[in-house]
Amino acid sequence: MPRAEAEAGTLGAEEPLSPLARQRMQEHTPKENPSMNYVAEKAEGRAAFGKQVKVLLTPLSMEEEKRNKRLPQKRLLEKFYSNEGPSEREPKVKKSCDDPTTQQIRNVSDKASSSPQGVIPSMSSLHNKRSLVSPRNTSVTVDHDSENNWDTDSEGSNSDVSYLDGSSQLSAYERKRLKNITENANFFASLKLLESAARLRKMATKGQSHGIKRVKPKKTEAETVRRRSMRLQRVDPSGVPLPEIPAQPEPVIDEYPQLPPGPLPMVPANQSKSSELTDMFLDTWTKISQINPNDTEKHICNLERYKASLSRMILSEDAVTKVVKNRIYSVAIHPSESRTLVAAGDKSGQIGLWDLNSKSEDGVYVFVPHSQPVSCMYFSPLNPVHLLSLSHDGTVRCGDVTRAIFEEVYRSEENSFSSFDFLADNASALVVGQWDGDVAIVDRRTPGTSSELTANINSKTTRTVHVHPVNRQYFIAAGAVNVCIFDTRYLKPNGNKPISFLSGHTKSVASAYFSPITGNRVVTTCADDTLRVYDTSSLSSTIPVLTAVRHNNNTGRWLTRFRAIWDPKQEDCFVVGSMARPRQIEIFQDTGEQLHSFYNVDYLGSVCSINAVHPTKNILAGGNSSGRLHVFKD
């Protein structure tokens, strides 16, 4: 009775709506999925009419309607689990986290939507939550999942809520559908996708390590101590430690040991040579040096005869041998016509002489008059018993076979020398080029080893110097890029100007030489892969290029640079090494035409950078970078 009186006191004042008000409310009420805000607004609207309704909490039975309608998937699962009991549920139902007022509003809305008359309570009854819904009358609570599915189900609100009001038997179709849903849910649960996703998220959110982590070495077990002998422990048999031996400094080996100044004895460095053989060799050198001055006159033959003589020159096996230890920097041929004697200077300062007509062993005799590369070497034109050599060590020496010594002609402690040439036919005066660009005039008749004059010719470096064969006061100097002709009569220590300038070079020039008979041509070898010929018959201020020949002069680091030289027997032909294969030595005419190539596949397999030609005979000697000479002769 108290409960009935409370209900009567709370709801007794509410009266049914008039037919007109009910019709208007049904027109404005949405047929499905009403929101909570819309219910609240309509409740307030009903209050404006002054009419109130009574809410029936007793659930209506609609068994036939429930059997004929399809249940949504999630609602069907909830019903199935509610029939089986809470212990058999696999997916857990989310608990409602709404406040009681919101939950009661939802319950009332569900009841109103499921009521066939469409009766909706007023807002005044909703605010009195304790008297509106009691724990006894409240039989259903809708969770968040049910709320979301309410908005998305396509069957209407009556069918969604009807199965919650009572438990009925499922049809065969619903049981089969429920079975498929359950199997699918179990399958996806067995895949453990949620755990994998959580693990991946954890790995992704894990902080990235910057840089390379130092790997800590694993602790190894203590190694077994090995026994050491008393010698290694540096103790004597009684156990007394031996005194420490002071460490000896390693000796510094100089690549170019300096030789003492003054004359050096002409003693072969290859000690296998006996003194008797050496004496016989020096005697032979002296005999072949007795030359008639008339024999040194140069005769020019026509081009056809010259080409025929070149074709007769061959390389045989006994004309190839190793003369010096290292790379060859200079080659000279003795002017004798009765015997072939070739000299070669190498990188370490050795001079090797090879007598090709010797019958004893190999006929090679090696001397060491210098400590650095021998870059230039000539036999004296009128007195071939003298062999003059120049080295980077700043010395010019003359090997006198009659006295068996290498006497010192010119010496400089400050400068390094590059090349020299004879200012006179008797080789009494020399012009010496230096790597710093200066040139020196040396008179051998003057006592001492100093120069007469050192002149600055305004060049960064001087690689080669060569004297005009007719007008011997002129000499040509090849430097970094510039090639100039100077007059020795006007040289002074500073402020020297050339009388002629040979233009056209774009890179460093390795050599420049006058033609051997008239001096009317000059051939230059440049690092821009070009051989150039100039007409110097008239020495003007600027001499243009007469002929330019494309030629590979890129010898690299390990080969001596090419130096094109004139054939002493021919005014218009010059000889130069080649990088072409098969390895060869080339002869060009001053017009740029290649006349002949010396090659032999069997015995010439290297680049002959430095070459020399006999002044009267058909003999050509080429030196490579391993100290080996190749001699072509007819």
pLDDT score of 361:
74
pLDDT in tens, 455-493: 999 999 999 999 999 999 999 999 889 999 999 999 999
**Is residue 591 scored above 50 in pLDDT?**
yes
**Confidence class of residue 393 from pLDDT cuts 50, 70 and 90?**
very high
Q: What percent of the chain has a predicted confidence (pLDDT) above 90?
A: 56
Averaged pLDDT, 416-432: 95
Averaged pLDDT, 131-137: 38
CA–CA–CA angle 501, 504, 509 (5° rounding): 80
**Is residue 138 scored above 90 in pLDDT?**
no
pLDDT score of 291:
78
Cβ count within 10 A of residue 565: 20
**Is residue 211 scored above 60 in pLDDT?**
no
Q: Report in angstroms the alpha-carbon separations of 131 from 39, 40, 41, 60, 246.
A: 20, 18, 22, 21, 110
pLDDT score of 9:
42
Regarding pTM above 0.75, the answer is no
Averaged pLDDT, 133-150: 38
Burial class (CB in 10 A: 0-12, 13-18, 19+), 487: middle
The least confident of 32-41, 167-176, 594-603 is: 32-41
Averaged pLDDT, 543-554: 96
Q: Give the pair of three-digit tokens for residue 23.
A: 């019709």
pLDDT score of 585:
98
pLDDT score of 238:
85
pLDDT score of 38:
45
pLDDT score of 68:
46
pLDDT score of 270:
79
Averaged pLDDT, 96-109: 45
Give the strand order in the sheet containing 395-400. Answer: 264-265, 405-411, 395-400, 386-391, 374-379
**Is residue 346 scored above 50 in pLDDT?**
yes
Q: Is 606 left (phi over 0), alpha (psi -120 to 50) or beta?
A: beta
Of residues 88 and 554, which shows the higher confidence score?
Answer: 554
**Is residue 32 scored above 60 in pLDDT?**
no
Average pLDDT, the chain: 79
pLDDT score of 122:
42
**Is residue 145 scored above 70 in pLDDT?**
no
d(C-alpha 331, C-alpha 375), whole Å: 9
pLDDT score of 287:
94
pLDDT score of 76:
53
Averaged pLDDT, 433-437: 96
**Confidence class of residue 214 from pLDDT cuts 50, 70 and 90?**
low
pLDDT score of 18:
65
Q: Report in angstroms the alpha-carbon separations of 88 from 83, 526, 554.
A: 10, 100, 92
Question: Which of these, 242, 224, 225, lies nearest to 233 by C-alpha position?
Answer: 242
**Confidence class of residue 221 from pLDDT cuts 50, 70 and 90?**
low
pLDDT in tens, 501-538: 999 999 999 999 999 999 999 999 999 999 999 999 99
**Is residue 173 scored above 70 in pLDDT?**
yes
**Is residue 330 scored above 90 in pLDDT?**
yes
d(C-alpha 390, C-alpha 419), whole Å: 7
pLDDT score of 294:
62
DSSP state of 241: B
pLDDT in tens, 44-72: 444 444 444 444 444 444 444 444 445 55
Of residues 228 and 613, which shows the higher confidence score?
Answer: 613
pLDDT score of 2:
43
Reduced to 3 states (helix: H, G, I; strand: E, B; else coil), residue 46 is helix
pLDDT score of 337:
93
**Is residue 411 scored above 80 in pLDDT?**
yes
d(C-alpha 383, C-alpha 297), whole Å: 15
pLDDT score of 168:
57
pLDDT in tens, 267-301: 998 766 678 888 999 999 999 998 776 665 666 77
pLDDT score of 169:
77
**Confidence class of residue 404 from pLDDT cuts 50, 70 and 90?**
very high
Reduced to 3 states (helix: H, G, I; strand: E, B; else coil), residue 227 is coil
